[in-house]
Structures are given as C-alpha cells and as structure tokens.
Structure 1
Amino acid sequence: MSNRTKLENGLTLVYEHIPSVRSVAIGFWVACGSRNESPAEQGISHLLEHMLFKGTEQRSARKIAETIDAVGGHLNAFTTKEYTCYYVKILDQHLRLGLELLADMVINPLFAPEELEKEKNVILEEVRMYEDNPDELIYDLMVQTLLKDHPLGHPILGTPESILRTSREDLIRFKERFYTPDNSCLAIAGNFEVSRLVEECNAFWRNLRGSFTPGESSPVQTAGTTCLRKKDTEQVHLCIGVPGFHRKHQDRYGLLVLNNLLGGSSSSRLFQELREERGLVYSTGAYYSAFRDTGLFSIYAGTSRKNFPRVLSLIWKELKRLREEPVPTEELNRAKEQIKGNLWLSLENTTNRMTRLAKSELFYGRFIPPEEVLAAVERVTAEDLIRISSDLFQEEQVTLAALGPFQEEDEAVAKGWKNDDATDPD
C-alpha cells in the first residue's frame, strides 16, 4: 500500500512499507533531463549528476564511496531525457544513514573546480566508450534523425564541445533552477518504521529550497527519413523508428502489447523470424519509450552487410502484416501474460517498487497500482493492434538509421527497402 505526503519544504514523499524484507530503497527524483537543456547546455544534466558524487562540505568523493561500502549498500544515479534519479539501497537498519547521505549529496555539493575538470575528462571517456558501442550508438542516431533538432533528440551525454565549456557557475544555476521541492520527489520502498519516516525525512531534507518556473516547450515535429553512417564495424547496426504515443495516451497499453509480441522476447515475431528461422541476426528487439508529449517506437537488429537488405525487407514485411492481419488469440494472450509476469516479478525488488512510486508521482501525480496496469493490458484486442499498427507504421513517418561498413550501393538499398518488390521471398 503506497502513501503520499508533503514534507515541510513542499517536497513530495511517496513511500511503501514492505515489512517482509530487510532492505530499503531511497530515491530522489527530479523532473529534469536532456530535453530541458538548451543547445549550448547539452550534457549538463548528466555532468551535474556526476558532480553530486564528487564531494560535499562534510564528505569527499572517497568518503561518500567508503560510507556506503562500509554498510554493504549500493549508491548510484542515472540521467534520462526527462528525469534524473539518485538512489541508495541499504539494509533497513541503516535507513537514517541512507537518507542523510543522499540529502547531503543533493543539497550540499561542493562543485570543486579541480573535481569538475577531472569529471569532464571522465565523461569524455564515457562518450568515447559509447562511440565504440554501435548497438547503443545507433539508437541515438535514430532518435536524432527522427526528432531532428528537438531537445529530445539531443544525446544525454552531450558533445565534447558542450561538456568542455560547462563551468561551475553553469552547474550551480542549472541545479538551482530544476532541483527544487516542487519539481522533485522522494520515493522510499522497503522495511522502515512508518511512524518515524516523515520526521526523519524532514530532518534531512528540509534544506532543499527553491521554486521551479517551467520554461517553454517546443513542439515535436517528425518526418520519416533515412540516415546511413559509415563506420568500420563487423556488423551493420540498424534502427527503425516511428513516433509513438505519449505516456498518457489511451493506446499506450496497446503499444506495450504490440512491442512485446513484435520484439520483446525470444518468442517474439522478429526474434523467431530473423534469428531462429533465418539465422540472419544474433540480436534483435523492439522498444517503446513514452515521453510527456510524444513517444518513440523502435526496432533494432544487427546483421552482416550482405544480409542488410534481407533483414530490412523482413522487418517491413512484419510491420505490414501487423497492419493487415489480426494477431491470433494464442499469440496475443502469450504477449499479455508475459507483460503480467514481468511486472509481478519486478515487484519483488524494493528498488523497482521505489521506481514505480516515483514515476507515478512525477508523471501522473498519483500512484498507479499494478492491477490497473494489468487490467488495461487485458483489455487490448486484436482489432486495437491493427488500428495502432496502421496509425504508426505508415511509410512516410518511418525512419531508418544504420551504421556499418557501407558501400555506395547500400544507399539505394536504404532508400527502397519499403518497396513491395523488395520483400524477401519465402
């Protein structure tokens, strides 16, 4: 059973008491990510996340690491396109330490100039590492191609140029603008003394201050296109993307089911057709990302240059099939049951429960119980999937991004892969 309250400074606290476990997960979530950055600020959200681990007035970066290791806990953070999360998972007996450590990092960072310069170099190495992982790089390339110059299309890590020019003052101003009680929430799930939780949260988090002023949001505009990038890789890595549904769209659960049966598991259509039946890929899958005002649905596959045209044709054949043929009842039920099973199994982890609390609060302003999600999934019909597929998989809005050891003739393949006569023969 989840609970929601406001701390003395206006910070929303959402929590779930789970007395059957020995752990507690604490997360500070702020509604700020790469989409909130100006073109000159690209990567500042991620750099700020790193710098909160680099020392406070009470603790050095080493002391922060030693403090959590000394109690066998886990401390980490991540930045996305629309939010940033700092979290700690710790034994229940160390709840106060977890609350105090996280609050100290978020509220009292030093932003020491020498630490900032070192961390810039760390992130530049992270960018280089990312460039060496084409199966990850291709997704960013697809998003940038599909969303053009919209902030959602910016890379979360930023660019080397934007990282290097970010100053200590830039970080302080950015943090003061977004890291406020009314633009954040504190989420806690696990075993704790319920009667004392609010008092202890107030004690450690009362110094988080400020008021958030929303900025203007630029509209999302997309158009289907093709982008091939030559890169010396062993495989061609391709990503096909279309605009999806925003996170409050009435068809979001239908797209979740569609995602699962198309590429969400080893029994999915793409995995079975491309890998098991044809032996053309090792890795393939489909992914759905929902944002405040839009969404992204994408398909990934890695294959040889020789098989690049065939894989494209087979993927398009599956997309057309979804638009034209009802999904058999057995297949539809299997996709639903997998979603249900994955959700219930994920709830056996306190970090996952904490994450659900926070996302419900940040995105919907209320807790969405698992039963509500599963009931919505169960209502999805085969007719819904045809309608959704027909809406999304239109030729003019499908984007293809690919990178690999391309030759000139591959340009023609990429331009004509949706032609009917390009369909792979049985």
Structure 2
Amino acid sequence: MSVRLDQLPNGVRVVTEHMPGLESAALGVWVMAGGRHETPSQNGIAHFLEHMAFKGTKKRSALEIAEAIEDVGGYINAYTSREVTAYYVRVLKDDVALGLDVISDIVLNPVFDAGEIETERGVILQEIGQALDTPDDVVFDWLQEAAFPDQPIGRTILGPAERVQSFGRDDLSGFVDQHYGPDQLILSAAGAVDHDEVLRLAEAAFGHLKSRVTPVADIARWHSGARVEVNDTLEQVHFTLGFEAPSYRDDGFYAAQLYSSALGGGMSSRLFQEVREKRGLCYSIFSQLGAYDDTGMMTLYAGTSGNDIAALSALCIDELKRAASDMSERELDRARTQMKAGLLMGLESPSARAERMARLVGIWGHVPSLSETIAKIEAVTLGDLTAFGESLTRAPMAMAVYGPASKAESLEALLERRAA
C-alpha cells in the first residue's frame, strides 16, 4: 500500500492510498475549520454549514444530492468537530469520479436557500434538544466549557439554540469566505483509487479557487473549573474529570495515550477493576485522551448513584495518584499492544484510512508511515508513563457533574485530595 501526496498550485492538498484487492473507495474533503474557529456570535455556524451543504447546490437539489450517491449504492455523510469539518462518501471504484463531483459540489456550491435554512434550523434545534436530553453527552460539553471558559474551544459544537435561531444566509456564506480557502481543504481518498486520476479530478474541481489568508484559531488556555447541575429526575450521576494533556504535536502524546488506556481504557484497566469490579460503585467507567492542535485533555467518566458519587469521585482521585507512582511494565505492555492492535484493525477500512491521512496531513503536512507511528508507540518507556502520571497530579483539572448530585464533592475538595 502506498500513500501519495500532492498540492495544487492554490494550496489544496490531495492525498491518496491505493489498497489492492478492494472494489470500493472512500473519499472526501476535510476542511481545517470547526467549532474553535468561530467567534462568539458564530457559535454553532460551522455545524449549521455542514447541514446546509446537503440542502442544495447550484446544480443539484437536496434530493438529487442524496440520489446521486445512493443510486449507485454509495453512502454520503459529514461531521463537524472542534477543529475539522468533513464531507465524505463511500462508493464503488467505478463511481469515484461521481463521488468527488458530488463532494466538491456540496462544499463549493451550496445555495443556502432561505426556505431550506428555515427547515434545517428546525432540524438542528431538534438535535440540540436531543443532546440536552442525553446526560452522558451534555456532561462532556459542560466539562469542555469548564476547562476552557469563554473560549471558542470550550463552546459546544452545536451552539446554543438562541444563536442557531439567528443565523442567516450571509452568516453562512461569510464563514465559508473566511475558512473554506484552498489552503484549508484536504482531499483524501483510499481504497480502489488511482492517485493520478484523483489529482486530475481535484484540479478540475478545485483548481480555480483563489488563494487567501484564513484566520488562525485562538490559543487554548486551560482553567481549573467546575459545573455541577443537580437533577433529581435522573437515576444516575454522570461524573467527569478533565486534565490537561499533550497536543497532537507534543512529544508526550503517545505516552499520554498509553497511560489513559492503562488507567481506564478497558476491562483490565485500573479504574474498571478497582471502581466497578472490586467496589461495585458503577456500571460504566473509562478514561480517554482527546487532543487538539495546541493542547489536549485526558477525560475520566463514570456513572453512579447519588449516594455513591462522593465515594466514587474520591476513589478516582486516589487511583489517579496511585497510578502515578506504581504503573507497571506489564500494564505498559498491555496498553501498547491494545493501542497497536486498535490502530491496525481500524485501518482495515478505507474510510478510516482516508480520515487518518487527512488528519495527519492537517497536523504534520505529510502522512507518517505506520511503521513510524508504531515505532513511537514502542519507544514509550515506563519512565515516560510515570512522568505523565505525575503531571496529572498537578495539572489543571476541570469537573462536570450532572444528575442527583447533591452529595457530590466540590472541585476544591477533590483538588485538595489530589494534593494531599
């Protein structure tokens, strides 16, 4: 398998990987702009724009966009994150040109019809309402806000309902003008694709775009903050802690990933064994690492009863401190094996490969080989894990709690316990 990367004269990057034996391909456009590139008055517009891309272009109606891909048995979708908006398809190899034509059309030529804006506004308001009705989703948004208050990276991707109510055509086209410049676009394709053909199609679709300067996102500033919402109608308390962690670009990124896995990444992890298996204080508990361009967050989540929340939160802090001092080589080896297996299993899919390539080009400007990535995983030592674990005992810590949480410990109390 070979990865090839080219750049059009205007800055659009084109990356492909041919996967022998496949009859299908995944391809899409990753725009290096998301929620953290919004101003306060724009909060939620990147996501709104993603929805509107499917609501009609200069040459296709909303139905025709869907039919163009589904008539050939394909699949089309999109997502918005804090740093990226992605539009992608999965099609058979003979329909790669069609797939790229549809994706380039919805990215470059949305019409933002007034009637469709109103229809989709209602859809997004329903999506916001659904999210607010899902405690183990909304609590993560609150954690993000507690860690990054009054910053774009701390705001929700969906945006508040009052903002969504106000967006119009000029707001949408203005965000496109600001952030959809050719230097922000990465076309990525994997599977049954030919690089030269994809490059030719990309030149035809995107080569006319004029280069322009795009705004840079504000640097993230960590804060130790908390949000506790008491809701006695819920059965469980949804408890989260967040800790400052390395960015994608940081040398300590892989150590942080391995540490998070050993601490709470599976059934054999410390948190699962101590909090659930031995104490029975929860059904679900895990830790995970999220990373951005300039910072990261290790997140710990658990759901428990209102009567057990104080004991559970204290135990999580105790386990965090204990792991910083006595993580073992066996735990490191297990986490390393899990991480490598997860990476390799995930990349059996052309969709996963296309996404990986786009994200790596966005971060590094090239696609490191799998062997390079695995070498970095292999290079992590127990000392590296210990150093990251110790950093968590003094790093900024944020907390969000939702549910029958009247007995929950305060952030100040947990910070004191961590420092003791």
Q: What is the letter of the counterpart of residue 110 of structure 1? A: V
Matches within 5 A, 1:311-330: 311-325=312-326, 327-330=327-330
Q: Distance in 1 between matches of 2:66 and 2:219?
A: 41
After superposition, give the CA deviation of every residue in 1:144-188 in whole Å (9 maximum; x if it has no partner).
Answer: 011111110010000111111111011111101111111111001
Distance (whole Å) between structure 2 residues aligned to residue 63 and residue 393 of structure 1: 55
Q: Deviations over 1:341-399 (max 9, x none)?
A: 011111110001101110111111111111111111111111111111111232x7222
Say whether 1:126 aligns with 2:123: no
User: In the TM superposition, what is the alpha-carbon distance from 1:405 to its structure 2 partner?
Assistant: 1.8
Q: CA deviation at 1:33?
A: 0.6
User: What amino acid maps onto 1:385 in structure 2?
Assistant: L
Instruction: Name the counterpart of 1:76.
Output: 77
Alpha-carbon distance between aligned partners in 2 of 1:202 and 1:213, rounded to the nearest angstrom? 21
Kept in 2: contact 1:103–1:204 (CA 8 A): yes
Distance of 2:115 and 2:229 partners within structure 1: 37
Q: Which residue of 2 aligns with 1:261?
A: 262
The one-letter amino acid of 1:262's match is L
Residue number in structure 1 paired with 2:222: 222
- Measured in 1, the distance between the counterparts of 2:238 and 2:413 equals 18
RMSD: 1.8
* Structure 1 residue 156 corresponds to structure 2 residue 153: no
SS at match of 1:27: strand
CA distance in 2, matches of 1:421, 1:213: 42
Aligned partner of 1:204 in structure 2 is: 205
The aligned runs of 1:27-38 (5 Å cut-off) are 27-38=28-39
Query: Alpha carbons of 1:200 and 1:65: their partners in 2 closer, same or farther (altered >3 Å)?
Result: same
2: CA distance between counterparts of 1:356 and 1:412? 40
Q: CA deviation at 1:119?
A: 0.6
Q: In the alignment, is the contact (CA less than 8 A) between 1:33 and 1:45 conserved in 2?
A: yes
How many Å apart are 1:302 and its aligned residue? Answer: 0.6
Report matched runs for 1:260-299 at 5 Å. Answer: 260-299=261-300
Cα pair 1:416 1:422 within 8 Å, conserved: no
Counterpart residue number, 1:416: 413
The CA deviation at 1:421 is: 11
Could you tell me whether the CA contact under 8 Å between 2:236 and 2:306 is conserved in 1? yes
CA contact (8 A) 1:313 1:418 kept: no
2:403 is aligned with 1:404: yes
Q: Which residue of 2 aligns with 1:49?
A: 50
Partners of 1:228 and 1:195 in 2: CA distance: 54
The unaligned stretches of length 5 or more in structure 1 are: none
Question: Which residue number in structure 2 is paired with residue 354 of structure 1?
Answer: 354
Sequence identity (%): 35
What is the 5 A alignment of 1:51-200? 51-200=52-201
Q: Cα 1:278–1:62, aligned 2, differ >3 Å: closer, same or farther?
A: same
Q: For this pair of structures, how many residues does the alignment match?
A: 418
Deviation string 1:42-63 (CA, Å, 9 cap, x unpaired) is 0000000000000112211111
Offset, 1:317: 1.1
Unaligned 5+ segments in structure 2 are none
- TM-score under structure 1 normalisation? 0.94
8 Å CA contact retained: 1:176, 1:210: no
